[in-house]
């Protein structure tokens, strides 16, 4: 890969203009700017598209409502302009060195295909943020990572080589709005894709899902249909990985720093 790979950041967005503005403002002050920012307007009824254009993003429309349809549309749009496709959500607020960290990682490791990191929740009480990071998200990381055998991709904070998306774009259930896009992507990945988790690559994200019981349970229960649509492809014995788990056999929420989100 070139020492200066092209990076396109994809942001799916539906009726999140206020959060999107803060996200784009954070992207505007990156120490290593994105070569392109793509905002996928997912049938918004607010000013999301206007905000995107005001910050110089390429705004494209995806009328099929759902995080997977919107994200996949963005990844497709990025294919012709990027060596690396980076992803965050409208409520993400990337640290100033986020893109620089991504670029350094991919340039230094030719075998790296997907890089993901954790989260720092904002907008709720310290207790809610802690429980979200260490129990809800951390527990999900442990159990799903153990079953799948590779790091669970966090939809609000990851990047992949365009070649990885080219291989997976017709394999994922990209039009299914009822499943977790990041979990579905993770299930379709293989160890040979070079998936890595970086504990220092953390992303501030809104704690909104943790403060509404209905939203929280909806996210938890979406895990089941996400695995169902990929069965038996998602079964560990079908994945060509060793049966031994890659994570520690015992999990403590205090020690687990990975905080992937299960889609939007």
At 103-129, the pLDDT tens digits run 999 999 999 999 998 888 887 677 666
Q: What is the pLDDT of residue 186?
A: 93
pLDDT above 60 (res 216): no
Please give the residue that has the higher pLDDT: either 259 or 183. 183
Q: Which range, of 75-79, 88-92, 229-233, averages the lowest pLDDT? A: 229-233
Q: Round to whole Å and give the CA distance between 195 and 174.
A: 20
Q: Of residues 52 and 230, which shows the higher confidence score? A: 52
Confidence label for 150 from pLDDT (cuts 50, 70 and 90) = confident
**3-class DSSP state of 102:** helix
* Average pLDDT taken over every residue of the chain: 82
The pLDDT value recorded for residue 226 is 78
Mean pLDDT check: name the lowest of 51-60, 199-208, 217-226.
217-226
pLDDT for 262 equals 27
Strand order in the sheet with 84-87: 58-61, 36-41, 7-13, 84-87, 158-161, 114-122, 195-206
pLDDT digit string, tens, across residues 161-184:
999 999 999 999 999 998 999 999
Per-residue confidence at 233, pLDDT binned at 50, 70, 90?
low
Closest Cα to residue 260, out of 214, 213, 226?
226
Q: How far is CA 14 from CA 70, 92, 148, 204, 221, in A?
A: 9, 14, 30, 19, 22
pLDDT of residue 115: 97
Phi, psi of 248 (to 5 degrees): -65, 150
Q: Where are the beta strands (DSSP E) in the chain?
A: 7-13, 36-41, 58-61, 84-87, 114-122, 158-161, 195-206
**pLDDT digit string, tens, across residues 29-88:** 999 999 999 999 999 999 999 999 999 999 999 999 999 999 999 999 999 999 999 999
Distance, CA of 179 to CA of 196 (rounded, Å): 23
Distances (CA, A) of 18 to 15, 25, 52, 90, 255: 9, 11, 11, 9, 34
- pLDDT-derived band at 146, boundaries 50, 70, 90: confident
pLDDT of residue 133: 65
Residue/partner pairs of 172-177 with CB below 8 Å, 24 or more apart: 172/68, 172/72, 173/68, 173/229, 173/230, 174/68, 174/69, 174/72, 175/64, 175/66, 175/68, 175/69, 175/72, 176/66, 176/68, 176/229, 177/64, 177/65, 177/66, 177/67, 177/68, 177/69
Pick the more confident residue, 225 or 85.
Answer: 85
DSSP-based three-state secondary structure for 41: strand
pLDDT > 70: what percent of the chain? 72
Q: All domains of the chain, ordered by start, with CATH?
A: 7-238 (3.90.550.10)
- What is the arithmetic mean of pLDDT over 137-147? 68
Asked whether the predicted pLDDT for residue 223 surpasses 50, the reply is: yes
Question: Which of 59-63, 176-180, 213-217, 219-223 has the weakest average pLDDT?
Answer: 213-217
- Confidence (pLDDT) at 255: 32
């Amino acid at each position: 890969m070139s020492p200066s790979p092209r990076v396109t950041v994809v942001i799916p967005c539906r009726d999140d203009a206020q959060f999107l503005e803060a996200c784009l403002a954070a992207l505007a002050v990156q120490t290593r700017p994105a070569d392109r920012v793509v905002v996928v307007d997912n049938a918004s009824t607010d000013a999301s598209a206007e905000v995107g254009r005001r910050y110089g993003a390429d705004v494209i429309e995806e009328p099929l409502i759902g995080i997977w349809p919107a994200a996949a549309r963005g990844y497709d749009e990025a294919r012709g302009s990027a060596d690396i496709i980076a992803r965050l959500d409208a409520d993400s607020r990337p640290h100033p060195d986020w893109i620089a960290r991504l670029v350094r990682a991919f340039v230094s490791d030719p075998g790296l295909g997907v890089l993901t990191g954790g989260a720092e929740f904002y907008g709720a009480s310290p207790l809610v943020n802690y429980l979200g990071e260490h129990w809800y998200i951390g527990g999900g990381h442990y159990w799903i990572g153990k079953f799948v055998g590779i790091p669970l991709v966090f939809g609000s904070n990851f990047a992949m080589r365009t070649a990885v998306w080219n291989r997976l774009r017709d394999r994922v259930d990209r039009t299914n709005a009822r499943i977790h896009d990041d979990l579905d992507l993770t299930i379709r990945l293989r160890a040979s894709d070079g998936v890595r988790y970086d504990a220092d690559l953390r992303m501030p994200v809104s704690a909104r899902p943790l403060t509404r019981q209905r939203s929280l349970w909806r996210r938890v229960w979406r895990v089941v249909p996400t695995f169902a649509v990929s069965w038996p492809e998602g079964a560990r014995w079908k994945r060509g990985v060793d049966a031994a788990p890659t994570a520690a056999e015992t999990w403590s929420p205090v020690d687990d720093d990975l905080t992937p989100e299960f889609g939007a």
